[in-house]
Structure 1
Amino acid sequence: MLIRNKLMLRFTLLVLGIQLSFSAFIYYFNASTRAQRFEHRLANSGTLAGRILVRTYKLEARMLNSLRWADLLTLPQEQISIYGPDNTLRYSNADAGSQAMNRARLQLMVKEPVVAFPREGRRETVGLLFSDTGNGEQYRIIVSAVDQVGWAHLRQLALLLGLGNLGALILTILAGWFFAESALRPVARITQQAGRISATNLGRRLSEGNGRDELAQLARVFNSMLRGLQQAFEGQKSFLAHASHELRTPLTTLTGTLETALEYDTSLPEAKESMAQSLDAARRLSSLTNGLLNLAKAEGALPAFAPVRLDECLNQALVQVRATYPGREWRLVFGTLPTETEADLFMLPGNAELLTTALLNLLDNAGKYSANPVRVEVDYADARTLLVRITDAGPGIAPNELNRIYEPLYRATGALTRPGYGLGLSLTQRIVQRHGGRLEITSALGQGTTASIWLPATPL
């Protein structure tokens, strides 16, 4: 169901519920008032009959012939029965068949001066105790009648409320449609704008309207997502362009060398030289492929994290770079470490292989671009954060290139003459982010580069 229809339905049901509740209250209030008013009229009629028949001693003197029966009938279809102190019927204008119910009602007329009995259809009955002021004897008078005027008024009220609710329901549906259409018009506009955005024009943005309501917040979220998608698409395009270029170069070299060797090499020395060139191209191709596979691995699902010692990962990485750069000096420094704890230091949840790879990439970059000593510092930034800082004295990176060094296969100007494919920092950043950490590279031309990694540590 469309949101517009849901809003209309809920709005209509809510208003209809309020209307019906209010109408039921009005009808109940009027019905209760009618019953109380008619009960009072029945009691007054019974009192009038007592004054005329009992206190004038017409019942005792058998002088009822002097009365006109119609003079006592003040209510529609009124029936009056008067019982003496001995519970004998002294007077009744109703047929004899109705007295069986009245005699049963006498048992309930003991203490209360006025008793209202359950209604029989539309006929309502009231019994009252009436005392003769002369001899103090107590009579019981039972009066019943039909409130024709009151019931007619209730029928008119019910008809009026029904028609009013029906008209209000129609107006509510129209108002619900109007307000739903008005409220969802910005959503329809956002939907229309979003429908025009595709992979070829991710630079378009949604209108944020007044910039204050929930729809403006939704548009801002969409625009932020579009910016992220645009950056991801541009990064993917750049990655594909660089990857195709980097893969094409060793493949072309390998293919050309093999074709040349097959066609022209006639001696063993020439064949060995061609094989050496082909092997070098194959190694470059294998290194690049492994780098791309590692990057894909860091992007995919990782195995469950386990407790890892960061200092052991760092030691393994240092062993490898010392073998790769035997003449380089590596200075390992430990910062101020917590002393008031018995827990193991440098512990964090993670993947030891990936963390070693990330640290190795940073150390390899430092050794590759700097002939001077490289400083490696391990410290606690706070009780819950580990910090590794690697500082070299290399040529540095230009400020305009610092924002792009994390792109896969991107290489800064000073790195073009050095071996590598521009995958190390991108892979390291992915690994650090997957571990809930942060990588930051700071550099100045001619002064060197510092790579800092913050990683969430196991609480001490």
Structure 2
Amino acid sequence: MKTRTKLTLLFTIVTAVLVSLYGIAVYYFSKEAREISFYSELKAEATAKANLFFEGALTEKEMHRLYKSNIQTLTEVQVAIYDSDYHLIYHDDYKVDYVKEDSAMLASIFKRKQVSFFINNLQATGTVYTYQGKKYAVTAAGYDQYGYHSTLNLLSISIFIFIIILVLVYFAGLFLSKKALNPAVEMVKGVKNITAGKLQLRLEYQTEKDEFYELAKNFNLMLERLENSFSSQKNFVSNISHELNTPLATMTAELELALQKTHGTEEYRNIILNTLNDVKNLSKLSASLMNLAKASYDPSEINFEDIRIDEIVLDSYAKILKENPQYSIQINLDDSIEEQKLIYAGNHYLLLVAFTNLIDNACKYSPDYSCIVSIRIISGFLSVEFINHGSFISEKDYQNIFKPFYRTEEIPHKKGHGIGLYLTKKIIGLHHARLSVLSKDGITSFQILWP
């Protein structure tokens, strides 16, 4: 079932319930008002006939004649009068006695002074009338033909109007829901035109800031992110292909050269060493790509635990020196730092990759292959700083240093793939820390601030 139909039916049902409650309330209170009004008429009629009987304006026969004359044209109220000994002293028509008073009923009237009750479809009332110091019970009964007829007409009209209102509400609901959901229909048409090759398309939306405006706006922002992601993915794949092709092409050339003719032992040794270096280079690239994939996981899928930052720095120190014995690394840890301030929630493996990249980068671009790692507290933040001397980052490199596969043109002989700093930036971001770089007066510093 379409949303338009659901909204229309829901709107119609709610309206039906509300109108039904209103109709029931009107009918109920009209019915109650009719009963109260007719009881008042019965009491007035009882008092009037009692006055006529006792005051002697009309004889009993004339009152009987008046009663019989009136019932020919309208529903007359039947009145009866009893004395305090429960003896009947007057009745409009005792042959057709509506009330059929008994001693218990008369006793109740004398005791309560005023009673009202139903006898089948007839309404009846009993009241105490006082004349010359004596008390009399006067009963009056009648059928409210006009009142019942009016109430029945009200019920019929209410049901008819209720049906008309539901029909009108249903069609009005269809019209209004169509108009209200028209932006959604237009958005669906727009979405159908957007494909993987047309991510530059955007949904149009009105300037009125309603829910559809927010939906279209956020959908366009999502498309923009997807477009950037697809573009980055294409560039990423292109760069990977280029990076993989270089060592593979070199290895192919070296091996083809080895097969062309017979070489001496030293020449074969050099070919094998060159090929081995290319394999190691390819292995490093593969490891970097694997680490990049891990750093791109959803943060909720990465295992975080309490770790000590200084211990990871020491592990990175040992790893770098094992692979590059020529590097000189100095670690300065502020002795005043409390142990608790060195403990953070993080992923040991990813942080080890990040710190190793920063130390290797600092040593690689330092003339004497040296790096200083400084751990201290700055304005309440834990700072881990990687410093080298002699290198300088140009303005162009400064703007692109954290972009994937970007390599400086200032020092072309340095080997690398342009993944390390980009990967490090992602890892530090996953740990809700901040990585910044500063290059000035021959000193380059990469600083991580932990909250």
| TM-score normalised by length of structure 1 | 0.85
Name the SS of the counterpart of 1:68 in structure 2.
helix
Q: Is 2:427 aligned against 1:431?
A: yes
Structure 1 partner of 2:351: 355
Q: Is 2:207 aligned against 1:210?
A: yes
Query: What does 1:70-219 align with in structure 2 at a 5 Å threshold?
Result: 70-71=66-67, 76=75, 78-92=77-91, 93-95=93-95, 98=98, 100=100, 103-117=103-117, 119-131=118-130, 133-134=131-132, 136-210=133-207, 212-219=209-216
User: Relative to structure 1, is the Cα distance of residues 213 and 321 closer, same or farther in structure 2, using a 3 angstrom cutoff?
Assistant: same
- Using the TM superposition, give the Cα deviation of residue 322 of structure 1 relative to its aligned residue in structure 2, in angstroms: 4.7
Name the SS of the counterpart of 2:340 in structure 1.
coil
Name the SS of the counterpart of 1:205 in structure 2.
coil
Structure 2 partner of 1:5: 5
Name the SS of the counterpart of 1:149 in structure 2.
helix
Q: Is 2:383 aligned against 1:387?
A: yes
Gaps in structure 2 of 5+ consecutive residues: none
Structure 2 partner of 1:310: 309
Name the SS of the counterpart of 2:108 in structure 1.
coil
> Which stretch shows the higher mean deviation, 49-58 or 413-422?
49-58
Q: CA RMSD in A?
A: 3.1
* Residue in structure 2 matching 1:239, options 236, 243, 262: 236
For the 8 Å contact 1:239–1:407, the answer to whether it is kept is: no
> Which stretch shows the higher mean deviation, 172-181 or 259-268?
259-268
Distance 1:238 1:268 in 2: 43
For the 8 Å contact 1:328–1:371, the answer to whether it is kept is: no
Gaps in structure 1 of 5+ consecutive residues: none
Q: Is 2:418 aligned against 1:419?
A: no
Structure 1 partner of 2:436: 440
For the 8 Å contact 1:43–1:114, the answer to whether it is kept is: no
Distance 2:186 2:266 in 1: 74
- Using the TM superposition, give the Cα deviation of residue 369 of structure 1 relative to its aligned residue in structure 2, in angstroms: 1.5
Distance 1:433 1:84 in 2: 103
| TM-score normalised by length of structure 2 | 0.86
User: Relative to structure 1, is the Cα distance of residues 215 and 407 closer, same or farther in structure 2, using a 3 angstrom cutoff?
Assistant: same
Q: Is 2:33 aligned against 1:33?
A: yes
Query: What does 1:40-51 align with in structure 2 at a 5 Å threshold?
Result: 40-51=40-51
Q: Is 2:445 aligned against 1:454?
A: no
For the 8 Å contact 2:328–2:363, the answer to whether it is kept is: no
Structure 2 partner of 1:21: 21
User: Relative to structure 1, is the Cα distance of residues 297 and 67 closer, same or farther in structure 2, using a 3 angstrom cutoff?
Assistant: closer
- Using the TM superposition, give the Cα deviation of residue 353 of structure 1 relative to its aligned residue in structure 2, in angstroms: 2.2
Instruction: Report the number of matched residues.
Output: 444
Structure 2 partner of 1:221: 218
For the 8 Å contact 2:110–2:137, the answer to whether it is kept is: no
User: Relative to structure 1, is the Cα distance of residues 215 and 112 closer, same or farther in structure 2, using a 3 angstrom cutoff?
Assistant: same
Question: Aligned AA for 1:68?
Answer: H
> Which stretch shows the higher mean deviation, 254-263 or 47-56?
254-263
Name the SS of the counterpart of 1:422 in structure 2.
coil
- Using the TM superposition, give the Cα deviation of residue 237 of structure 1 relative to its aligned residue in structure 2, in angstroms: 0.9
User: Relative to structure 1, is the Cα distance of residues 285 and 120 closer, same or farther in structure 2, using a 3 angstrom cutoff?
Assistant: farther
Distance 1:78 1:428 in 2: 102
> Which stretch shows the higher mean deviation, 279-288 or 15-24?
15-24
User: Relative to structure 1, is the Cα distance of residues 156 and 393 closer, same or farther in structure 2, using a 3 angstrom cutoff?
Assistant: farther
Q: For residues 9-58 of structure 1, what are the alpha-carbon distances to aligned partners after superposition, in whole Å with 9 as ceiling and x for unaligned? A: 33323333332233233223322222221111111111122122344399
Distance 2:284 2:2 in 1: 54
Name the SS of the counterpart of 1:200 in structure 2.
helix
Q: For residues 91-122 of structure 1, what are the alpha-carbon distances to aligned partners after superposition, in whole Å with 9 as ceiling and x for unaligned? A: 332546755565553343244433211x3443
- Using the TM superposition, give the Cα deviation of residue 208 of structure 1 relative to its aligned residue in structure 2, in angstroms: 4.1
Q: For residues 296-353 of structure 1, what are the alpha-carbon distances to aligned partners after superposition, in whole Å with 9 as ceiling and x for unaligned? A: 22223655322111111112223344555656654544569667xxx62311011222
> Which stretch shows the higher mean deviation, 7-16 or 255-264?
255-264
Q: For residues 124-152 of structure 1, what are the alpha-carbon distances to aligned partners after superposition, in whole Å with 9 as ceiling and x for unaligned? A: 11111112x22x22221222211111111
Question: Aligned AA for 1:453?
Answer: I
Distance 1:336 1:206 in 2: 58
Distance 1:210 1:332 in 2: 58
Question: Aligned AA for 2:447?
Answer: S
For the 8 Å contact 1:336–1:380, the answer to whether it is kept is: no
User: Relative to structure 1, is the Cα distance of residues 238 and 403 closer, same or farther in structure 2, using a 3 angstrom cutoff?
Assistant: farther
For the 8 Å contact 1:79–1:94, the answer to whether it is kept is: no
Distance 2:126 2:288 in 1: 103
- Using the TM superposition, give the Cα deviation of residue 251 of structure 1 relative to its aligned residue in structure 2, in angstroms: 2.1
Structure 2 partner of 1:369: 365
Distance 2:224 2:394 in 1: 25
Q: Is 2:283 aligned against 1:286?
A: yes
Name the SS of the counterpart of 1:108 in structure 2.
helix
User: Relative to structure 1, is the Cα distance of residues 42 and 331 closer, same or farther in structure 2, using a 3 angstrom cutoff?
Assistant: same
- Using the TM superposition, give the Cα deviation of residue 255 of structure 1 relative to its aligned residue in structure 2, in angstroms: 3.3
